[in-house]
Structure 1
Amino acid sequence: MTGATTTAPYASEIEDLLGRMTAEEKLGQLQQLSWTGDTGPGEGQTHEVETAARLGLLGSVLNVAGPRHTNYLQRIAVEESRLGIPLLFGLDIIHGYWTTFPIPLAQAASFDPGVSARDAEVSAREARSNGLHWTFAPMMDVTHEPRWGRIAESGGEDPYLNAVFAAAKVRAYQGDDLAAPDRLAACAKHFAAYGGAEGGRDYNTVDVSEARLRNLYLPPFKAAVDAGVATVMAAFNTISGVPAHANPHTLTDILKEEWGFDGFVVSDWTGVHELIAHGFAADGADAGRLSLNAGVDMEMVSTHLADHGPRLLTEGRISEKRLDDAVARILLLKFRLGLFDRPYVDEGAAVTGPTGEARAAARETAARCMVLLKNDGGVLPLDPATGSLAVVGPFADSTDLLGTWIAPGAAGFPAVTVLDAVREAAPTARVTHARGVAAEGHDTGGIPEAVALARDADLTVVVVGEPAAITGEAATRADLALPGAQRDLVAAVAATGRPFVVVLVNGRPLTTDEWLDSAPAVLEAWHPGIEAGHAIADVLFGAVNPGGKLPVTFPRTAGQIPVYYNHENTGRPYRPEHPDEKYVSRYLDLDEGPRFVFGHGLSYTTFDVGAPSLSTDRIEAGALRAGATVEAAVTVHNTGDRTGDEVVQLYVHDVVASQVQPVRRLRGFRRVTLAPGESTTVRFPLGAEDLGFWEGTGEPRFTVEPGDFHIYAGNSALAEEKRTLTVT
């Protein structure tokens, strides 16, 4: 086996099995089939699954769930096949199994990796008890593209933030022992640079330099590998002309050799077959050859390795050594999961729905993810004793608040509605309701009813946003405004002159310029999951003081994309102090800068984040490379009259470098809770990884160059307080 797998545990057991397997059985371990075919393109493969399992020609099954079904298939594989090798059962458990947590983009907005860890722990417990071993999560595709539907599954635009959350979720899914009955094997996806798809169109081309690949897209994957992630999934896109499913540079040179990854690489759904559509493979046999030789170890749904592998081996187009390496990696995970000792799950012990404890975790984390975008005049929090409230909008009484990629829990456990939760939170208030408009479509006939209720209420809560169906995979949007007639509803409520607040439920950044100035307060709630209504009401009425921050920039208009905080300077940057300069990098017809910057988020109290202090203002580059660090200390003070959370953010700028650097790079964050008048000091170690970068020319090399570094501290990417560190 290549890389770190040469010293893996279970080596003797794996070697024994490899010695007894036929070529066809080895190729069978590389095959994953779908039990139902209910997700993605293609037809169900139920009969094919049973036949392959019985013949020992199947390694894994996806989209099967429930202990009765998994045990049924597992008995066929273990008790009827020649060698009795157990199957590996996988499912897309992205943000919950029975208990749906906020979408991953929302989780990143918490700036608290403990939020993702709680999701993973609850999900793993529920899913493993239902016979599953493997989740195709976390997704850690850094992206500058809010048009891309799958931004909902990512941690947003920053590689450091994505890396911290990816590592936390991997550790929580997998724990210390993959064989434990409440843990799942994780899958880092999609490798690599999927978030750079041109135009935000799913599955589209990515043309990326080696420097951009290593400095922007790869850090979260490296963090996941360092955290011990069991598997990695290849991406649908090309990378500089080479499809990710047939890219030996990323899958083998970097992942398996440079990083020493000892798990296995699974293709995405029909990703091997799609090498033909890319124009990279001539036919199925060629696709199988290219993917296996590049580093793919398991083929999802398409069957080119199983179909053509024997002939490819005979012709020497794939090697027995490479085949054995792939099989060994798959067997290793099955041993680590304990499947050879305990292939079946106790059907009587299956978790069959969300527990009270799980719901409480979902509610707490959802509120923790929400971002207060605007709060003019302190409209929020609302007083539960308010005499009358109108709750309007297409999502006011909707259960479509779970978000994209929801597991079986969606069918039986819908989201709590905002309307029901508001009535519960304000039991003495007269609460009225009208949808006003649909989530999509341009019928405005219901707006007069909503307006009448708004005129008659002390305050109106307008709940607008995106249906989950237009977020996630294959859900690219060219227009990021509120869909349909929802903008008309906001404008009509604003025209009443009565107080109102807007709650956004969405899976991506939306453009708000058409109505934002008229809205006194705006709460970004994302798609919050099963306890959506309760969590939203907790924030609206002040039971929870919002402390989330934006993990992605909100543009003014889709025409401004890409717009992100960690951009490089041009030779002619726009300077706010000279707004009339013509020959600078800007739009003529748009105000400079985004609508809301990365890291933005308000609170019901106020904070002062002080300037960073450094343990030293000079350090040698050699000392950094040897492991030395500089400590940056930042003091934050609650200057308001409520207990609340602030996220202290630390940014770095390499002022002069041999390769142009971003104007800011997030290199530390800490969410702290402070009582009124309370202060605390947060400390961040800065080492080589924080101050260096990957060179993009010649042989890839990580370097820390001498020079000045500006160290910024604050509560958004606009942080102004700074100190200078000199590296000699």
Structure 2
Amino acid sequence: MNYKKISCALFFAALTVNGFSQSKPAPKSKMDQYISSLMSKMTLEEKIGQLTQYTSDMALTGPSIRAGYKDDIQKGLVGSIFNAYTPAYTRQLQEMAVKNTRLHIPLIFGYDVIHGHKTIFPIPLGESSSWDLAAMEKSAHIAGAEASADGLHWTFAPMVDIARDPRWGRVAEGAGEDVWLGSLIAKARVKGFQGDKYDGTSVMACTKHFAGYGFVQGGRDYNIVDVSQRTLVETILPPFKATVDAGVGSFMTSFNELAGVPSTANKWLLTDLLKKQWGFKGFVVTDYTAINEMVNHGNVANDKEAAEAALNAGVDMDMQGAEFARYTKQSVAEGKVSVKTIDEAVRRVLEAKYKLGLFDDPYKYCNEDRARTEIMSQANLDAARDIARKSFVLLKNYQQVLPLKKSGSVAVIGPLGDDKRDMIGNWSGAGDWNKAVSLTEGIKNVAGNSVQVTYAKGANITDDANILRQLNNSGGDISVEDPEKLLKAAKDVASKADVIVLAVGESQGMTGEAASRSDISIPESQKRLMREIYTLGKPVVLVLFNGRPLTLEWEDAHFPAILETWFAGTEAGNAIADVLFGNYNPAGKLTITFPRSVGQIPVYYGMKNTGRPASPENKYSSKYLDIPNDPLYPFGYGLSYTTFTYRRPVLDKTTIKTTDKLNVSVTVTNNGNYDGEEVVQLYIRDMVGSVTRPLKQLRGFQKVFLRKGESKEIKFTLTNEDLKFYDVNMKYTSEPGDFKVFVGTNSRDTQEASFKLTI
């Protein structure tokens, strides 16, 4: 099969991302001269080696490198190692490369530093719920500082995939469903990881997964993706472009295909768009063995063709597949891959090493003294606790059950109530769950001796033997006890308490990569516990631990208070207790919609209208027979211990031109009994377009602190850029006509005003 003949012209030819042009070559810099000189000395085998990445092995006994990889490093046939950290171990590997090879080219060490290195922060979906860009940048900065102190140069983050199907486990790694907010968060995380320059205390970021991975069919990981060119350009690509604008150092391909071409072999995506049109200067690495997997996709006949397709498409580094190492020399001899293509890829990899300062000092990231003072410092732990509190979302608080009083007795019930393993969540990398703070520990720490705290497990995470086997085969560490004994003990403990804190949800292994779920409700074992606890008639606070939206209709109908805490990291228990006892007033807002049922999926706030909108009077309208169309908790939703009221938004103009600015103001009042923060959200709607427009689009937000009784005027400014979209000809423009502005506490509960755009 000749992959060069694969054509997606009908799909890709119409795609234009306006406003970008191919940048002109820069004058020869000191870096260019250095790398050109180095490359002139390299053999073809050494060049191919720079495009090859292998894994290190990590075990309880410590890190180790496989004998074959060690030999390749010392022959100059490896450019990067991942899953290798600690200053001593990375120094050992770096010495192999620098001292034993002909050209002394250093290795680059990468690792999955997704939401913290040793100090673990909330999962990215949780962090995004803080709507606090500075906090997210700070957590990425701390993660990068710890990682760089531990011998690492490179993190495989941020994941910027927009995702609207909570069955997909990897929603935990992203920023939710909104393109505009997701782009801002993507920039913040890149800036946090990389800083202003690579000074030895930051790491190179890697934007992933390019592109479309968040739209896998059925929410099933690694599945195919089939999207329109409009969805690709309007929804999928903008956060990726945002990271290019932020100066991200690397990109990672996605496992999926686009228009029948796997991303790892998609020349339009990797070369024409990313490198030429967007002007991306970094390098592209595959996801784990993605080149090998193209044979299963069916676009190539064998591994050799896969390697050729990837190189010619614009891949610069092969992660773990070893296909470049096996076949590229032969492919060059056969004329299937040009030396020019190899040289372009090698230059990008060497430039990254140069920018990281590895040619000046290959060991600058191997400082054991810095590792001792930087990693898990008290300042980092304090930041983790604070950012965790900001990520929590109060979903319900009927009759002000929360905050709890620091007196009386509290029973913590549930399999996640005294659990450390799951607090740090999925993709917690080098984090040590033994150092995490459980919920029971946190409550004791915060409430002190004035509160009697008891605990009972109550139920297993799940009693499903098949799921348990899969989880424990992948390091789930889930112990199973007799369900009847657990339930009896829990009811006994709970019946004696004034208040019950019910800790339920998913284990860390039930979300993240390779953790898709067709049923996103709380497992039946825990549902049984919840039903039994409900019959006691006690005040119950439901504390949720999860990496995705859950279906919670029964829980919402039966429990007075529900707090969404995601997987909050090393300081999870302390942070949750801070909120439960009122030391911190929750202000988080959902960045992904919580459906009532999986039957609603996909459901997201920015949907479009249909020609037959739902109408209870009209049988022949777009609705379900058994449930409402609207979700249980909409995008942007989140309560506080206080109450905020909004006046109607005021516009300084009712008609604007494309050169004008539109000022929007709204007065928000805290008329409750607590000081608190509120995320004031602004949405727009283009009422008529040459292509149909979403019912709402987020275009502004401000997180404001108001003391009880205080009012504040919040001001927003809209420009023509906020009104643009891809028109019927795929031109990025605005169109004259009527618009609405919505301001409110979430995407559903808003007040509106109108204006007109004229030519």
- Report the TM-score range of the alignment, normalised by the length of the smaller protein: over 0.9
Match among 497, 510, 524 for residue 470 of structure 1? 510
Partner of 1:19: 40
Structure 2: which 5+ residue stretches go unaligned?
A: 1-21, 465-482
Partner of 1:525: 565
Match among 418, 424, 441 for residue 397 of structure 1? 418
Partner of 1:677: 709
Q: Over residues 457-502 of structure 1, what are the superposed CA-to-partner deviations in whole Å (9 max), with x where a residue is unaligned?
A: 1111101110001110000001111113111111111111111110
Q: Over residues 8-63 of structure 1, what are the superposed CA-to-partner deviations in whole Å (9 max), with x where a residue is unaligned?
A: 85111121122221111111111111111789xxx996223222221111111100
Asked whether the equivalents of residues 444 and 485 of structure 1 are also in contact (C-alpha less than 8 Å), the reply is no
SS in structure 1 at match of 2:547: coil
Asked whether the equivalents of residues 398 and 560 of structure 2 are also in contact (C-alpha less than 8 Å), the reply is yes
Partner of 2:553: 513
**Structure 1 residue 108 displacement after superposition:** 0.5
Partner of 2:235: 216
SS in structure 1 at match of 2:275: helix
Q: How far apart, CA to CA, are the structure 2 residues paired with 1:309 and 1:682? A: 59
Asked whether the equivalents of residues 610 and 714 of structure 1 are also in contact (C-alpha less than 8 Å), the reply is no
Match among 106, 111, 124 for residue 144 of structure 2? 124
Q: Over residues 66-106 of structure 1, what are the superposed CA-to-partner deviations in whole Å (9 max), with x where a residue is unaligned?
A: 11111111111111111111111000000011100000000
Partner of 1:641: 673
**Structure 1 residue 613 displacement after superposition:** 2.9
Match among 414, 439, 443 for residue 422 of structure 1? 443
Distance 1:512 1:461, change over 3 A: same
Match among 688, 692, 710 for residue 740 of structure 2? 710
**Structure 1 residue 264 displacement after superposition:** 0.8
Partner of 2:726: 694
Q: In percent, how many aligned pairs have the same letter?
A: 44
Match among 192, 197, 222 for residue 177 of structure 1? 197
SS in structure 2 at match of 1:555: coil
Q: Over residues 396-450 of structure 1, what are the superposed CA-to-partner deviations in whole Å (9 max), with x where a residue is unaligned?
A: 1111211100122225x43211111212222212222111101111734422322
Matched, 1:106 2:138: no
Asked whether the equivalents of residues 692 and 703 of structure 1 are also in contact (C-alpha less than 8 Å), the reply is yes
Q: How far apart, CA to CA, are the structure 2 residues paired with 1:669 and 1:248? A: 37
Partner of 1:321: 340
Q: How does 1:600-615 map to 2 (within 5 A)?
A: 600-615=637-652
Distance 1:5 1:418, change over 3 A: farther
Partner of 2:624: 587
How many aligned positions are there?
A: 711
Q: Which moved more, 1:196-205 or 1:581-590?
A: 581-590
Asked whether the equivalents of residues 217 and 225 of structure 2 are also in contact (C-alpha less than 8 Å), the reply is yes
Q: How does 1:167-566 map to 2 (within 5 A)?
A: 167-178=187-198, 180-344=199-363, 345-351=366-372, 353-385=375-407, 387-399=408-420, 400-410=422-432, 413-426=434-447, 427-441=449-463, 443-566=483-606
Distance 1:616 1:348, change over 3 A: same
Asked whether the equivalents of residues 740 and 755 of structure 2 are also in contact (C-alpha less than 8 Å), the reply is yes
Q: How far apart, CA to CA, are the structure 1 residues paired with 2:303 and 2:69? A: 20
What amino acid does structure 1 have at the position aligned with 2:224? T
Q: How far apart, CA to CA, are the structure 2 residues paired with 1:46 and 1:11? A: 34
Q: How far apart, CA to CA, are the structure 2 residues paired with 1:351 and 1:8? A: 40
Partner of 2:168: 148
Q: How far apart, CA to CA, are the structure 2 residues paired with 1:323 and 1:247? A: 17
Q: Over residues 122-175 of structure 1, what are the superposed CA-to-partner deviations in whole Å (9 max), with x where a residue is unaligned?
A: 111111011100000011110011010000001111111211111001001111
Asked whether the equivalents of residues 4 and 262 of structure 1 are also in contact (C-alpha less than 8 Å), the reply is no
Q: How far apart, CA to CA, are the structure 1 residues paired with 2:623 and 2:597? A: 14
SS in structure 2 at match of 1:514: helix
Q: Which moved more, 1:446-455 or 1:215-224?
A: 446-455
Partner of 2:184: 164
SS in structure 1 at match of 2:435: coil
Matched, 1:34 2:55: yes
Asked whether the equivalents of residues 509 and 553 of structure 1 are also in contact (C-alpha less than 8 Å), the reply is yes
Partner of 2:117: 97
What amino acid does structure 1 have at the position aligned with 2:581? F
Q: How far apart, CA to CA, are the structure 2 residues paired with 1:219 and 1:636? A: 31
SS in structure 1 at match of 2:176: coil
TM-score where L is the length of structure 2: 0.91
Q: How far apart, CA to CA, are the structure 1 residues paired with 2:686 and 2:580? A: 41
Asked whether the equivalents of residues 738 and 756 of structure 2 are also in contact (C-alpha less than 8 Å), the reply is yes
SS in structure 1 at match of 2:669: strand
Match among 66, 69, 72 for residue 46 of structure 1? 66
Distance 1:641 1:331, change over 3 A: same
What amino acid does structure 1 have at the position aligned with 2:757? V
Q: How far apart, CA to CA, are the structure 2 residues paired with 1:220 and 1:101? A: 22
Q: Which moved more, 1:217-226 or 1:540-549?
A: 217-226
Partner of 1:71: 91
After TM superposition, the runs of 4+ consecutive aligned structure 1 residues lying more than 6 A away are none
Asked whether the equivalents of residues 130 and 351 of structure 1 are also in contact (C-alpha less than 8 Å), the reply is no
**Structure 1 residue 265 displacement after superposition:** 0.8
**Structure 1 residue 631 displacement after superposition:** 3.1
**Structure 1 residue 659 displacement after superposition:** 1.1
Q: Over residues 166-197 of structure 1, what are the superposed CA-to-partner deviations in whole Å (9 max), with x where a residue is unaligned?
A: 1001001111111x121000011101110000
Q: Over residues 296-329 of structure 1, what are the superposed CA-to-partner deviations in whole Å (9 max), with x where a residue is unaligned?
A: 1111001112221112222222222222111111
Distance 1:52 1:107, change over 3 A: same
Q: How far apart, CA to CA, are the structure 2 residues paired with 1:301 and 1:369? A: 35
